[in-house]
Amino acid sequence: MQFPTITSPHTSRPNSVQKAMLWVILALIPGTLAMIWFFGWGILINMVLAITTAIACEALVMKLRGREIKPVIMDLSAILTAMLFAVAVPPLLPWWLTVLGVAFAILLVKQAYGGLGYNVFNPAMAAYVLLLISYPVQMTSWLPPMMLNENPMGLLQTLNVIFGGALPGSLTWDAVTMATPLDTMRTGLSLNQTVSEISSNPILGQFGGKGWEVVAGLYLLGGGFMLYKKAISWHIPVSTLGGLAVMALLFNILDGDAYPLSSFHIFSGAAMLGAFFIATDPVSAPGTRKGQIYYGAGIGILVYIIRTWGGYPDAIAFSVLLMNMAAPTIEFFTRPRTFGHRGSGND
Amino acid sequence: MSKFYTEDNNQIRKLWTFSGGIHIPDNKAQSLTRPAGKAEMPQRLVIPLQQHIGAPNEPLVAVGDKVLKGQMIGQSQGFVSAPVHASTSGTVVDIGDHPVAHPSALPGPCIVIEPDKEDKWADLPPPMEYYATWDKRDIRNRIRESGIVGMGGASFPTSVKLSPPEGQQDIQSLIINGAECEPFITSDDVLMQNHAERIINGAAIMNYLLDAKECLIAIEDNKPEAIEVMKKAVAATEKLDNAHVVVIPTLYPSGSEKQLIYILTGKEVPQGGLPSQVGVVVQNVSTAAAVSDAVLEGKPLISRLVTLTGEGIKEPQNLEVLLGTQVEELVPQVGGYTNQASKLIMGGPMMGFSMRSDAIPVGKANNCVLVPSLDEIPNPENISACIRCLRCVDACPMGLVPQNMYWHVQSKALDKAKENNLFDCVECGCCSHVCPSRIPLVQFFRSAKAANLQLDRDQQKKERARERAEARNERLEKIAAEKKAKMEAKKAAMKKKKEAAAALKKEQEEQAAAKPAADTNEESTGSEGQDG
Ligand code: SF4
Ligand code: SF4
């Protein structure tokens, strides 16, 4: 009898790239729904817009390269990039900025480097930073969470704002937007208020900001799900949150009035999202487990430094990009010891 | 790499855990549902001449010769080699290249025997029942002459492994490998359950040869029956009082030599080194049984247990098979193929190789014929780009970074791949198994190693050619120099003659002039000395 020949190992293999991405996307959903709940339709509209743009860009590149479109879109990585971008940007971001950002992420940061697996930088974060530097006003105009929002907008009104730039009625941008909890903390501290004084501000909640902390909690839940599904390993999220928490703890011990608690930092801004969903992008992280721990810790520490002394209120994107740059070096110095090469250092 | 503990005769024994490895469904139950049987006498035996790693064998018989069971039919003078024997009596009908179970899928030289069905034994060497009264050299020689090689898949000549090189003869542990960590394969399990005594006897003989401090019989904890039987056998024997059955956790590739040594002793065999360097020798349980047969009964290695399994086989089972029996003759004896048969794999799913045709003989190291269904072993999926997820790094039992090696191999940077310790790869396949991008990593490493060896070989060839050329030049120069020397000698002789003649003439003249001749004579002697 004749048989086809294939190479070993001959096993039914677990977890494909697609499945791993699917778990990540599923894990992202609860937090995303909470974002929509607290911050309105804008998040959903951004998401649809971002995903559409991402797919269109991937299709375009594949077409230009003369390759099949479907498998590349089906690996879900572009969709994930789009989703991460959409939950990171303000809900009322003008449509063309979302399109610009996602197109930049997919076309330049990802595909120009050779596609999935070759990008040096995290595409969603690179796009975020590009927009933040170029359009700082639009990129920092956040809405208040639902319970503090005196002028909630419907779907149509939101569409109008995003696509037409027109606020409903007599509203002004100042009336619509509100500082984020991180902004509030920052501004308060710069006015020499104490942490506990600032905490009485209605925008601040139990740990972080109202609404924000729920979203962060759901991201944490999603992170746990991904760990359980082995879609990510613990190294990067634990070290990222650990780095941030330890820094916050040290300074909090030093001066509790001037430096908020670790829990505030972890549950504010994009820390949880960053630790579980953004920093864990394996492509732009170092290729060793030990290296990933240093990498994560580096991100956590940088986030703290930039939040506390830097020019921007949140710092996940900057920290991730900075550590992306350090990734190859970290990898080089943390190569595992090969079995049987005792005492011969890194090789 | 951490330590953990296991129970050993109510005592606690320390074990080590290597980093990496994978848990995979062991799929061993199907071939264990039926008791092991004995394969029928085949119509034809195709005995590969080369069933070991080392110097190639030369046939000792010719087409038309009658051979007897156990008669040596192929041999080599090399130290690292193992002869082959006729598995039954019959007539040699062909000597030539036939398809063999080799990953390269290239045919190899074989001796084809048509059995006469009489199964008549040749004269066997005398049993060495009281082996302790024999010279160790004789026992090693017996093992060598019996054609025994590592039967777990390595096919390295056993006698060589039992003769550690100078300076490495202080053996702490003799490890008898009954781990059988590859899924689907149960031949060692069945052997332990049914032939524990042969294994113990073989272990005792090897223990005597090596003078090991302890003999550890390692079995994965997914084989409770075998563990029970082996424990009883160890307790019952008087020949092997330093033996322990050590139960190790099921984790692929615990049965791989380097990993097993680490699990049991915490010692790492250095790269390119032998286990004896760290005071360890590892032998497979089947090999131990073969040693017992050879030493205690004089029987060479002519048969082995083979697992025939997978959903592509109707009645999966273990069979005792005469070496050289072709798979196509074995399959009908286990119910034939089912219509789910999708591939033919010699060996287990992790390290076995898939063959195009079932017209291939079972050799000394073939422990399994696996015919899986597509459910059990799907066809390879499309490869996508590496996403640097590090699953391969987590899984590699050798502490390598497969994704980087892959990167270098792919960009043809063999040197870089070597710097990343490509040659430490034991080709266990863990990395390929876990890769979500479905990159056949181990396949890349195998080819790269082969290409590199070829490169080295070419280099050696060039080196040798250069040496040869140099030697030739030297020779020519030497000849030329000799010629020149001869010429000069001749010239000198001529000159001498001339001078002598001249001297004679002078002498005559001088004599004629009646002057003292002593001065000229002296002069002549001087010039002779110079030329000579
Ligand atoms: S397992 Fe595959 S995709 Fe993941 S790092 Fe290794 S080679 Fe790359
Ligand atoms: S095949 Fe080689 S590289 Fe892959 S896991 Fe095994 S030893 Fe490591």
Query: Residue for token digits 């011990």?
Result: A253
Are residues A298 and A326 in contact, defined by beta-carbon separation less than 8 angstroms? yes
**The pLDDT of residue A248 is above 60:** yes
* Residue A215 domain-assigned (yes or no): yes
Listed in sequence order, the residues at least 6 apart from A188 whose beta carbon sits closer than 8 Å to its beta carbon are A197, A198, A201
Same domain, B340 and B402: no
User: Which domain-ending residue is among A162, A195, A223?
Assistant: A162
Which residue in the set A3, A116, A288 is minimally distant from B401, CB to CB? A288
Question: Which residue's CA is the nearest one to ligand 2's atom 5?
Answer: B396
Domain shared by B317 and B419, yes or no: no
Domain boundary among A112, A136, A162: A162
The Cα B417–Cα B102 span in angstroms is: 25
Q: Which structural domain range is residue B198 located in?
A: 3-114+126-370
CA–CA separation, A277 vs A81, rounded Å?
A: 10
pLDDT at position B5 is 60
Mean pLDDT of B163-168: 82
Same domain flag for B289 and B350: yes
Q: Across residues A94-121, what is the average pLDDT?
A: 85
The number of C-alpha atoms within 13 Å of A127 and in the hemisphere containing its C-beta is 28
Q: Which segments of B302-345 does DSSP mark as H helices, in order?
A: 327-330
Cα dihedral B60→B63→B66→B72 (10° resolution): 20
B269 and B139 in a common domain? yes
Name the least confident of A110-119, A150-159, B206-215, B498-507: B498-507
pLDDT band at B526 (very low <50, low <70, confident <90, very high): very low
Nearest residue (by CA) to ligand 1, atom 2, is B435
- Mark whether A49 and A157 lie in a shared domain: yes
Q: Identify the domain boundary among A128, A162, A196.
A: A162
pLDDT at res. A347: 37
Same domain, B354 and B401: no
Distances (CA, A) of B76 to B55, B72, B81: 7, 11, 6
Mean pLDDT calculated for residue range B331-351: 89
Residue B31 lies in a domain: yes
For residue B253, whether the previous peptide bond is cis, meaning omega lies within 30 degrees of 0, is yes
Three-class DSSP labels, B177-230: EECCCCCCCCHHHHHHHHCHHHHHHHHHHHHHHHCCCEEEEEEECCCHHHHHHH
Among B270, B353, B419, beta carbon nearest to A8 = B353
Percent of chain B with pLDDT over 90: 35
* Section A219-233 average pLDDT: 92
Q: What is the Cα B421 distance to its own chain's centre? A: 21
pLDDT tens, residue by residue, A285-339: 888 899 999 999 999 999 999 988 887 767 888 999 999 999 989 988 888 888 8
For residue B220, the cross-strand partners are: B248
Tell me: do A130 and A222 sit in the same domain.
no
- pTM score: 0.79
Of B348, B370, B392, the one marking the end of a domain is B370
Average pLDDT, chain A: 85
Measured between beta carbons, which residues in chain B are less than 8 angstroms from residue A289?
390, 393-394
Encode pLDDT of A251-274 as tens digits.
Answer: 988 887 888 888 888 888 889 999
Residues B365 and B450 in one domain: no
* Residue of B22, B398, B405, B406 to test ligand 2 pocket, by largest number of atoms within 8 Å of CB: B398
- A223 neighbors A46 (Cβ within 8 angstroms): no
Residue B260 pLDDT grade (very low, low, confident, very high; cuts 50, 70, 90): very high
- Protein residue whose Cα sits closest to atom 2 of ligand 2: B425
Is the distance from the beta carbon of residue B504 to the nearest atom of ligand 1 less than 6 Å? no
- A303 within some domain: yes
> Mean pLDDT across the stretch B460-473?
76
* Separation between Cα atoms, residue B193 and residue B34, nearest integer Å: 13
Domain co-membership, B306 together with B418: no
| Burial class, B105, CB count within 10 angstroms (exposed 0-12 / middle 13-18 / buried 19+) | middle
Interface contact B16, partner A, CB < 8 A: no
Q: How far apart are CA B366 and CA B205, in angstroms?
A: 24
Q: Are A129 and A213 contained in the same domain? A: no
What pLDDT is recorded for position B404? 87
Domain containing A294: what range? Answer: 179-334
User: Do B362 and B429 lie in a common domain?
Assistant: no
Nearest to B401 by CA among A216, A291, A160: A291
Q: Is the CB of B438 under 6 A from ligand 1?
A: no
Residues 6+ apart with CB under 8 A from B43: B114, B115, B329
**Looking at residues B232-236, what average pLDDT do you find?**
88
Is B385 touching A (CB cutoff 8 A)?
A: yes
A346 part of a folded domain:
no
Please answer yes or no on whether A11 and B268 come within 8 Å at the CB atom: no
Does residue A142 sit in the same domain as residue A237? no
Q: Which of B385, B397, B424 sits opposite A115 (nearest CB)?
A: B385
Whether residues A21 and A155 share a domain: the answer is yes
AA letter at B63: V
**Beta strand B303-309 pairing with B280-284:** unpaired
The binding-site residues of ligand 2, defined as CB within 6 angstroms of any ligand atom, are B 395-396, 398, 400, 402, 425-431, 441-442, 445
Query: Does residue A77 sit within a domain?
Result: yes
Token pair in block for residue A241: 């949150």
Which of A271, A269, A255, A40 minimizes the C-alpha distance to A144?
A40
Counting the structural domains of chain A, the total is: 2
Q: How far is CA B501 from CA B87, B164, B486, B491, B507, in A?
A: 85, 74, 22, 15, 9
What's the structural domain count of chain B? 2
Classify residue A7: in a domain, yes or no: no
Is the domain of B417 the same as that of B310?
no
Alpha-helical regions (H) of B244-301: 257-265, 285-292
Q: Across all residues in chain B, what is the average pLDDT?
A: 85
Q: Return the biggest CA–CA distance within chain B.
A: 124
Assess whether A122 and A53 both reside in one domain: yes
Q: Is A275 a residue whose pLDDT tops 90? A: yes
Quick check: B431 pLDDT over 50?
Answer: yes
Neighbours of A250 (CB within 10 A): 12
Domain identity same for A54 and A184: no
Which protein residue has the closest C-alpha to ligand 1 atom 5?
B388
Q: Is residue A347 part of a domain?
A: no
**Option in B355, B384, B419 nearest A75 (CB):** B384
Q: How far is the CA of A266 from the centre of ligand 2 (A)?
A: 39
Determine the distance separating the centroid of ligand 1 and the alpha carbon of B396, expressed in angstroms.
Answer: 11
Which secondary structure element, helix H or strand E, spans residue A317, and what is its range?
Answer: helix A316-333
Q: What's the pLDDT score for residue A343?
A: 53
DSSP A37-100: HHH-HHHHHHHHHHHHHHHHHHHHHHHHHT--SHHHHHT-HHHHHHHHHHHHS-TT--HHHHHH
Residue B159 and residue B217 share a domain: yes
In which band, very low, low, confident or very high, does the pLDDT at B512 lie, cut at 50, 70 and 90? low
Closest CA to A329 of A283, A285, A282: A285
Answer yes or no: do A145 and A237 share one domain.
no
Does A153 map to a domain? Answer: yes
Residue A168 has pLDDT above 70, yes or no: yes
Min Cα distance A182 → chain B (Å) is 32
Q: Whose CA is nearest to atom 8 of ligand 1?
A: B386
B139 found inside a domain:
yes
Domain harbouring B397, CATH code: 1.10.1060
Q: What is the CATH number of the domain that holds B43?
A: 3.40.50.11540
Residues A187 and A261 in one domain: yes
Residues A42, A151 within the same domain: yes
Residue that wins the pLDDT comparison between A242 and B130:
A242
Q: Is residue A259 part of a domain?
A: yes
Residue B342 sits in the same domain as residue B402:
no
Whether residue B10 sits in one domain with residue B153? yes
Confidence bin at B322 (pLDDT 50/70/90): very high
Q: Which two tokens mark B449?
A: 């190693």
Question: Residue B38 falls within a domain, yes or no?
Answer: yes
Stretch B248-257: mean pLDDT, rounded? 90
Q: Are A8 and B434 within 8 A, CB to CB? A: no
Whether residue B436 contacts residue A15, with contact meaning beta carbons closer than 8 Å, is answered with yes
A143 lies in the same domain as A214: no
Average pLDDT over residues A147-169: 78
> Do the chains contact at A340 and B382, CB–CB below 8 Å?
no
pLDDT digits (tens, 9 = 90+) for A5-18: 777 777 767 678 88
pLDDT at B528: 38
pLDDT digits (tens, 9 = 90+) for A179-224: 788 878 888 888 888 887 777 777 777 777 788 889 999 999 999 9
Confidence of residue B531 (pLDDT cuts 50, 70, 90): very low
Query: Which residue in B has a C-alpha nearest to residue A339's C-alpha?
Result: B398
Rounded Cα distance between B21 and B18, Å, is 8
Shared domain check, A26 and A122: yes
Complex ipTM: 0.79
Among B376, B390, B404, B377, smallest CA distance to B437 is for: B390
**Hey, which residues 260-299 in chain B have their CB within 8 Å of chain A?**
262, 268-271, 273
